């Protein structure tokens, strides 16, 4: 090759190299300015690149929208209560109970708390001390048997004929074989055992009558407007109200209160023990119990 030819070849190679460098320099700013180039490829995009040799248009568009519409402020999270060692009940929501007379009810509740502490609870302990457990159990059975008409009538008012028949069967078996209810042989009969208790207040609930405002009765404790009327109905249906003389009825009621008192105090302690607000604890326990009684 002549000297002239070698010179022309060198000039041509130099021009090619310069042209390639200029093209690469012109393309780099444009690529850096695109959202696709600025965004860091995700693992899914990298996988797509390996499969297809390039970024999927769908994922490129999603990356562009995510970069364009990313909010500048972090959204506030909704606060939810949680339990802590200092407040173990922090995650428990308070039951909604219609209690328009709460201020008055709390006053009666405070009176009852003092009465229970200094009178009713000591009386319950004294009753359990002088009466052996079998005697106290037998007395409760007799009272339960005497009040069978209340449960039978309540079942009929609710249209529960089968349950009314069960209560009637219990009354007959316990009054005869059980000698007036001292024993309870009905518990050994599968069809008569574990029959849910009924009262007039439950019948009102089944009829759709609302419970009304929550009430705290002196000495008697929690109730509601519906259950207060139901108590009156239970009293009228109980044989201790319309059987015998006035003196006998008074003694029967006093005896019933003494015999049932230990169980009432145990129920009260179980509902309010370790409660931060004993009033709320007892109100919720009573409301839950009565709602379940109406539903069963």
DSSP-assigned letters across all residues of 213-275: SEEEETTTEEEEHHHHHHHHHHHHHSHHHHSS-HHHHHHHHHHHHHHHHHHHHHHHHHHHTT-
Residuewise pLDDT in 10s, the chain (296 residues): 444 444 444 444 444 444 444 444 444 444 444 444 444 455 545 444 444 444 444 444 444 444 444 444 444 334 445 455 555 555 456 678 999 999 999 999 999 999 999 999 999 999 999 999 999 999 999 999 999 999 999 999 999 999 999 999 999 999 999 999 999 999 999 999 989 999 999 999 999 999 999 999 999 999 999 999 999 999 999 998 888 888 888 999 999 999 999 999 999 999 999 999 999 999 999 999 999 999 98
Q: Are residues 197 and 287 located together in one domain of the fold? A: yes
Q: How many domains does the chain have?
A: 2
Q: Are residues 163 and 287 located together in one domain of the fold? A: yes
Q: Are residues 41 and 139 located together in one domain of the fold? A: no
**Could you tell me if residue 79 is inside a domain?**
no
Helix intervals (H) in the chain: 3-32, 35-38, 43-52, 57-68, 102-115, 121-130, 133-146, 148-157, 161-176, 200-206, 225-237, 239-242, 246-272, 278-295
Q: Are residues 22 and 146 located together in one domain of the fold? A: no
**Could you tell me if residue 124 is inside a domain?**
yes
**Could you tell me if residue 62 is inside a domain?**
no
**Could you tell me if residue 9 is inside a domain?**
yes
Q: How far is CA 88 from CA 80, 84, 120, 278, 286, in A?
A: 14, 5, 31, 16, 22
- Contact in structure between 114 and 202 (CB atoms under 8 Å): no
Q: Are residues 26 and 146 located together in one domain of the fold? A: no
Q: Are residues 138 and 231 located together in one domain of the fold? A: yes
> Residue 40's domain spans which residues?
3-50
Q: Are residues 140 and 268 located together in one domain of the fold? A: yes
**Could you tell me if residue 40 is inside a domain?**
yes
| C-alpha neighbours within 13 Å on the C-beta side of residue 115 | 14
Q: Are residues 107 and 44 located together in one domain of the fold? A: no
Nearest to residue 204, comparing CAs of 132, 170, 154? 154
Q: Are residues 290 and 197 located together in one domain of the fold? A: yes
Report the C-alpha gap between 89 and 87 in whole angstroms.
5
Nearest to residue 215, comparing CAs of 290, 95, 94, 104? 104
- Contact in structure between 139 and 259 (CB atoms under 8 Å): yes
| C-alpha neighbours within 13 Å on the C-beta side of residue 202 | 24
CA dihedral over 122, 123, 129, 135, signed as positive or negative? negative
Q: What is the pTM of this model?
A: 0.67
**Could you tell me if residue 280 is inside a domain?**
yes
**Could you tell me if residue 59 is inside a domain?**
no
**Could you tell me if residue 93 is inside a domain?**
no
Q: Are residues 36 and 118 located together in one domain of the fold? A: no
Q: What are phi and psi of 17, to 5 degrees?
A: -65, -45
């Amino acid at each position: 090759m002549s000297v002239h030819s070698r010179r022309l070849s060198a000039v041509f190679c130099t021009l090619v190299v310069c042209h390639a460098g200029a093209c690469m320099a012109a393309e780099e700013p444009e690529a850096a300015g695109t959202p696709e180039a600025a965004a860091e490829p995700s693992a899914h995009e990298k996988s797509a690149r390996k499969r297809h040799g390039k970024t999927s248009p769908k994922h490129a568009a999603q990356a562009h929208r995510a970069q364009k519409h990313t909010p500048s402020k972090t959204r506030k999270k909704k606060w939810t209560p949680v339990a802590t060692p200092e407040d173990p009940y922090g995650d428990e929501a308070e039951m909604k109970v219609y209690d328009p007379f709460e201020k008055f009810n709390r006053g009666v509740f405070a009176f009852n708390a003092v009465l229970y502490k200094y009178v009713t609870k000591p009386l319950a302990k004294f009753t359990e001390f002088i009466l052996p457990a079998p005697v106290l159990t037998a007395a409760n059975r007799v009272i339960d048997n005497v009040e069978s008409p209340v449960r039978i009538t309540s079942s009929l008012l609710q249209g529960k004929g089968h349950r009314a028949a069960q209560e009637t069967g219990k009354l007959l078996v316990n009054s005869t074989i059980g000698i007036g209810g001292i024993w309870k042989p009905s518990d050994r009969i599968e069809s008569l055992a574990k029959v849910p208790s009924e009262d007039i207040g439950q019948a009102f609930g089944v009829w759709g009558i609302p419970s009304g405002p929550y009430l705290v009765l002196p000495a008697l404790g929690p109730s509601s407007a519906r259950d207060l009327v139901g108590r009156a109905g239970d009293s009228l249906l109980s044989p201790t109200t319309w059987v015998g003389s006035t003196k006998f009825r008074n003694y029967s009621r006093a005896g019933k209160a003494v015999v049932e008192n230990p169980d009432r105090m145990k129920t009260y302690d179980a509902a309010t023990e370790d409660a931060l607000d004993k009033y709320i604890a007892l109100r919720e326990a009573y409301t839950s119990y009565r709602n379940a009684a109406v539903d069963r």
